[in-house]
Chains A and B, each alone.
Chain A
Amino acid sequence: MKVLKMDIRGQICPSSLLLVLREMNLHHQELVRGNLSIEVLTDNRDATGTIPDAVRNMGIEAFVEKMDGYYRITTKQQSD
């Protein structure tokens, strides 16, 4: 599976969310098929709520991990 890495540390919401949504729109088919995963690095706490919620609404699972001074949000296609 391919992994698309996005480092948006320094960005605040809603631009963080919009950036991620734009990438998701661009790669929606691959994400849905489970061929691609997006890994987002962000230091904006609000983004750890808004991004996973938006991702899940599109039927894709998202996991948040707290790293050292930032967060890592990883998407994964839901298995039926």
Chain B
Amino acid sequence: MMQPQNQEIIRKPEEPSELELLTEENARLKNINREAFDYIRSKVNCLLEVVGTKNLRPEELDDHSLIEFDPIGIVAQTFQHILENLQETNQKLHFAHDEIQTVFETVGAALLVLSPQGKVVSYNQKIRDLMLGGDVDFLGKRCKDNICHTGIDNERCIFECVMLARREQHLYDWELDGRSFDVIGRPMLDETGNITHVVIAYQDVSARRDAQSSLLQALNATQEANAKIHGILRSAADGIIVTDSSDNIVLINRRAEELIGYCLSRQDSTIQIDHIPHKELVQLLRQAPRREQETFTEDLTFQPAGHSPCICQVRVTVIKSAENKFNGCVMLLHDVTEQRTIDRMKNEFVSTAAHELRTPLATIIGYTDLMMMENDFSAEQKTEFIHQIQKKAVRLGDIVSNLLDISRIESGEGVSLELKPHRFDQLCKEVIKNFQLQTNDHNFVLESPRPSGVTVSFDRFAMMQIIENLLSNAVKYSPNGGEIRISCQLENGICLLAISDQGIGMTSEQVLRIYDKFYRADATNTAISGTGLGMTIVKHLVEAQSGQVSITSSLGKGTTVTITLLAADQMKSC
């Protein structure tokens, strides 16, 4: 019989049921799934943290959506793009670095990079060439000890200036070893604003400074030269006017202003040639561009304020460019008043001299022709003919003598004089006698102290020439029957010889010009012979004997010429 009590029933463990197995498997899979989701979420959160955002919460994205949405895929692909961008940026940075390094080495300035402690971090070849020299490496060494070895104040230390100001600083004409630099220092700051480096650029301006100095000297020299030229032009004796292509007056000197009587140079604005108050001058300038000749001249008359009219030879030179384009004019106003007056007087003289020479010559030729053609003249007639020929020959001789005298005077040779005491009154008598032999048409009256007369030192020949000239004028310009008075007086050691006539007289203007060569007060009357040289010769001969000539004249009433000479005893004491 079977005893079931106290009998351990050993039961063979039951095999798990299918359900149990499935449940267990399901739990295990759930666990694995949970772990997988947790893993995915943790990785997603890691990635999201990297991109700087919050964790992905289950309520925001459940497990099912997590797989479907694929945040890891999204972030991974994003990272791929970020990485590509970083690689591209890196390439650019490398390229930029190479570029900067090239610029750093090849730039014209010497570049130095310092740490905030003033130690050399980097420098380019220019620094070595200009400041360091040799092959010693200065990296890590103090800038002050190696570059500014001469010792420089903090105010002139660009590094100290930049560290103090914490911004870009400039130093000009910074000197080192005889060289001059313009220096720029700039700080490099980190994100917090602290200085990480100081970059210093040294621009060697020694050559530029020397060039500037030379240029300044050249400029000063040019300005001085310009001032000199301007001064010379301003003070030139000739008037100068310079115009440009637009007919503006570029330069006008003082003389030109005097001649045109208008101060153009004081005007502030540009002056057109139309402002020149001289129509003919303006016309010349207007015509200049159309003229064929580059230089042409014309005489114009000017009336300077407070002065007599004057004649100027106006020389206009056209300035042309290389392309033959009109660029303006240079006008020179040369005063030729005296020259033109002399020319006119010479012309008058040639005419007068020809007339004077022709008259006696005609007489001589006439008598000689007569004597050659006819032979039946009486002895008295022949003598008269020869006398007339001789008389006219003497006249020709006088004219030629006058011309030679004036020629000597003009050439500065002068006339050789032999001063000896002579009786002035007696000489006058001799000359008067000669005149009386030639003409009875005039009444000569001589007044002199008697019986002693007047003794004066003079050259006899010259004095005779003087008195003859004066008496000749008195005779020529006095009416027939007129009195010609010769007064010879001695007053206070001075001899006064006055020759007065009752002739046509002269105006004050004519008196002023009476000593001019070839001047004849009344040139209209060609019947009166004369070369216009007599009074010039008289004046010269009198003054050569320390005397003086004066003239008083009244038109229609007569003229008195007075000569003063020192008496003989006075001459000795001189």
Contact = CB atoms under 8 A, between A and B. Distances in A.
A57 interface: yes
B323 interface: no
B53 A13 contact: yes
Given A18-B69, A18-B74, A59-B89, A25 B51 contact: no
Contacts of A24: 78, 81
Given A12-B60, A59-B85, A21 B74 contact: yes
Contacts of A4: none
Contacts, number: 55
**Chief secondary structure at chain B's binding surface:** helix
Interface string A2-24: 00000000001111011001101
Nearest to A56: B85
A54 B85 CA distance: 12
Q: Which bucket holds chain A's interface residue count? A: 10 to 19
A58 B88 CA distance: 10
Contact of B48 (A14, A57, A58): A14
Interface residues of B, number: 20
Interface in B40-78: 48, 51-56, 60-61, 69, 71, 74-75, 77-78
Interface stretch (A34-42, A45-53, A68-76): A45-53
Nearest to A50: B53
A15 B75 CA distance: 12
A11 B52 CA distance: 17
10 contacts: A13-B54, A17-B51, A18-B69, A22-B74, A28-B81, A46-B53, A50-B51, A50-B53, A53-B52, A59-B88
Given A17-B53, A49-B52, A58 B75 contact: no
A18 B71 contact: yes
Contacts of B56: 14-15, 18
B237 interface: no
Contact of B61 (A15, A49, A58, A59): A15
B49 to A, nearest CB: 10
Given A54-B51, A57-B85, 12 more contacts: A14-B56, A17-B48, A17-B51, A18-B56, A18-B69, A18-B75, A22-B74, A50-B52, A50-B53, A53-B51, A53-B52, A58-B78
A25 B69 CA distance: 14
B85 A14 contact: no
A76 to B, nearest CB: 15
A25 B74 CA distance: 7
Contacts of B77: 21, 25
A58 B81 contact: yes
B263 interface: no
